[in-house]
Chain A
Amino acid sequence: MKRIVMLWRGFAAQLLAFALIAVVAGSAQPALAQSGNPAEAFVQQNVDRGYQILNNQSLSSEQRRDQFRNFLLNLTDLHRIGMFTLGQYANNASPADLQSFERAFEDYAVTVYETRLGKYNGQTLKVTGSEVRAPDDVIVNAVVTAGGGASQQPIHVAFRVRKTPDGRPIITDMQVEGIWLALSQRSDFTSFLQQHGGSVSQLADHLRTQAAQVRGEAHGNSVG
């Protein structure tokens, strides 16, 4: 039975991955961020910014969505992540299908993150350090302290910060308690593709439907 308990905890960790950008960074430690790798300050500052957008009550929900979309597209390399999640199936897909998938994936990612992130308040994220895998590949470690019950323990998270061709830092993956988001998504998508004859266009259709569903539910919740 312990397996189930641990798995449920893993789920909690996984969901919190989506919540990271919405974290309250009130207790950010500027001294630490300045002394470490520049990628550390990059993560801490952007977590702050994401939270500000999602909590800016002076924006209409459409404005907030637009700002958050632009923010996320600037901060994360959704093209790189999307191609990675297709695994080997990216090789045999037509350029048109890939383009259609890329748009669908972008919309799906922004919608899912925005909806989930809006639900998390009262958490603090502190960057604790970083490990350099290569000059353009840094893992930034952080700890999220969630509000709530007495038994809440700090959650260990990490961001993988790489560089764009023009040298700008960009996030390509997030990890929470050992679970990488892009890796999990690849497993999900390639399994779908395996069962649908490797059709990337079917996957894109499915993502579009799912994003619409999530948007519908979020809208329903906010109205009710």
Chain B
Amino acid sequence: MNSLVRFNAAIALCLVLADCAGTTMSGDVSDPFEKENRVFFGASLALDRAVLRPAAVAYSRGLPQPVRDSVRNFIDNLSSPVVFANDVLQGDVNKAGVTLFRIGVNSTVGVGGLFDPATRFGYPRHSNDFGITLGDYGVGEGPYLFIPVIGPSNARDATGYVTDWAFDPFFYIPVRENFYWQLGRTTLDDVDARSRNLQTLDEIQKSSLDFYATVRSLYHQQRESQINGGAPTMQNLPNF
């Protein structure tokens, strides 16, 4: 645990420095790599149109809602250990208890995570990750990054993304099998998530003047709110 704390402190320091290094401000988000980010963003959109979106359309037409819900439950249950680790790191005993309860109930009564009886018992899911943990410790977000395949991020959250692998028990499956496991899991996760937002994403893109800037703002605000525990961000509201 001590080494983990030291590791966190080191990351914190490096991110604070990264934060200082970011000079181009776009709205409230530091985006010094905007030119590169826009290239990756455009490529990701093209990939979405060519592969992910058609796959998501076929998936949602081909499978009935209860099956798709089970896919979502199963994927969410798999990521619960990561949520639990971060609940603990944030010292949130209540959240950690809920997550532990959910893992126990949904993995057994919920048939290996295919169903979500825990929510019916009054313990709904919450998400958590190491990016939020770092934010909770007071680490700034650093420069905005649009990472190919992974999507919108920033220096803090990208660090968190990689760190979360260490909390995932499935990461310790031997390398060869791990590749196919992770590929299958990630693909299913993305296709299901995309299928749930087909119309939403189309409409936001249609009403945006600059879709890249809109995504950047949505991501920034959403992460701030998650770090804030879901409460409306009161303090930093602009006065208008």
Contact = CB atoms under 8 A, between A and B. Distances in A.
Interface of A: 1-15, 80-81, 83-84, 87, 112, 116, 131, 133, 139, 141, 149-151, 153, 156, 158, 160, 172, 175, 177-180, 182-184, 186-192, 194-195, 203, 206-207, 210, 213-214
Interface of B: 26-29, 65-66, 68-69, 72-73, 79, 116, 119, 124-125, 127, 129, 147, 149-153, 157, 161, 164, 186, 189-190, 193-194, 196-197, 199-201, 203-204, 206-210, 212-219, 221-222, 224-226, 228, 230, 232-234, 237-238, 240
B221 A151 contact: no
Contact of A195 (B28, B210, B230): B210
A12 to B, nearest CB: 5
Most chain B CB within 10 A, of A81, A84, A153, A191, is at A191
Interface on chain B toward A: helix, strand, loop, or mixed SS? helix
Nearest to A196: B209
6 contacts: A11-B197, A133-B234, A178-B221, A178-B226, A186-B27, A192-B210
Contact of B216 (A9, A14, A187): A187
Given A183-B28, A186-B217, A207-B209, 6 more contacts: A4-B151, A4-B193, A8-B194, A81-B240, A179-B218, A182-B240
Given A7-B215, A11-B197, A177-B225, A191 B209 contact: yes
A203 B218 CA distance: 21
B222 A149 contact: no
Contact of A10 (B129, B210, B222, B232): B222
Contacts of B26: 187, 190-191, 194
Nearest to B217: A187
Nearest to B211: A188
